[in-house]
Amino acid sequence: MVHRIMSLYENEHLQTIIGTVAVLIVFVAFTEMTLRTVAPLVIVFSGMMIYDVIGESYDLPEGTNWLFYGASVFAAGTYLMISNLTSFGGLLALCGLWFVFDGITKIRYGPSQTTHEYVSDLDSGMTETMLRMQTLNVVYQTLRASTKSRTVAEIATDCELTESRVESALKYLESNGRVVQEENRYHAESPRFGRLEPVVQFLVWIPHRVLRPFRRIVVNV
């Protein structure tokens, strides 16, 4: 009996649920939030918790997370639309339907694009993820500061990294147009829009991301 209680106490999902409920109780008790306004958050949280629990027991196809998330967002938006008759609820429900559509097409046809191997297995841990991100930044900034093209060995020496890490980072940066390879040497590609480059890339990415599930259908028809 004691062992069973301890197992429940150590369950991460149960800890998350208890912590979330405690936070919501505090908000309702000490702020102007009510059970009615908290309901949409509970709906979305419940949908994602159901996905996490099922995902631990079954090998779910890629895209199922968007399906569950979209369904919960649609339910939350529908609740807001019915209870408050606000346009925001309708917009939220529409966004939920898009996530559902994206998840269904991803499950049916697979991802629209292949993820680069440098970032495809970042589930290996937070430490490795941070190390790879830091490596990308160090390698790119080293090339930007250099007045000439550099070899992998030269970059590895300047960055105090192994050649294998530098080479994998360079391949990823090259695939994103951040560096250019000429024979066995690399140099940084200056951003076309300067400091506004991240903003421009994001604005270009939005319509591509919105249309991605539709492109899956068109390509596979």
In sequence order, the β-bridge partners of residue 82 are: none
Flag whether pLDDT at 88 surpasses 50. Answer: yes
Whole-number pLDDT of residue 84? 76
Whole-number pLDDT of residue 7? 52
Higher pLDDT, 143 or 196: 143
Q: Which backbone phi and psi does 188 adopt, to 5 degrees?
A: -75, 145
Higher pLDDT, 35 or 171: 171
- Looking at the chain, the number of H-run helices and the number of E-run strands are 10, 3
Q: What is the per-residue pLDDT across 93-139, written as a single tens digit (0 to 9) for each? A: 999 999 999 999 999 988 766 666 766 655 555 677 788 889 989 99
Whole-number pLDDT of residue 167? 92
Answer for the pair 170, 139: CB distance below 8 angstroms, yes or no: yes
CA-wise closest residue to 71 among 108, 99, 33, 40: 99
Alpha-helical segments (H) within 85-125: 87-109, 117-120
Q: What is the per-residue pLDDT across 49-77, written as a single tens digit (0 to 9) for each? A: 888 888 888 888 888 999 999 999 999 99
Q: What is the per-residue pLDDT across 151-205, written as a single tens digit (0 to 9) for each? A: 999 999 999 999 999 999 999 888 888 899 988 899 988 777 777 877 888 898 8
Whole-number pLDDT of residue 8? 46
Q: What is the mean pLDDT of residues 76-83?
A: 90
What angle do helix axes 87-109 and 64-84 make, rounded to 10 degrees? 160
CA-wise closest residue to 78 among 55, 47, 103: 47
Whole-number pLDDT of residue 24? 73
pTM (2 d.p.): 0.70
Q: What is the mean pLDDT of residues 12-36?
A: 73
Answer for the pair 98, 73: CB distance below 8 angstroms, yes or no: no
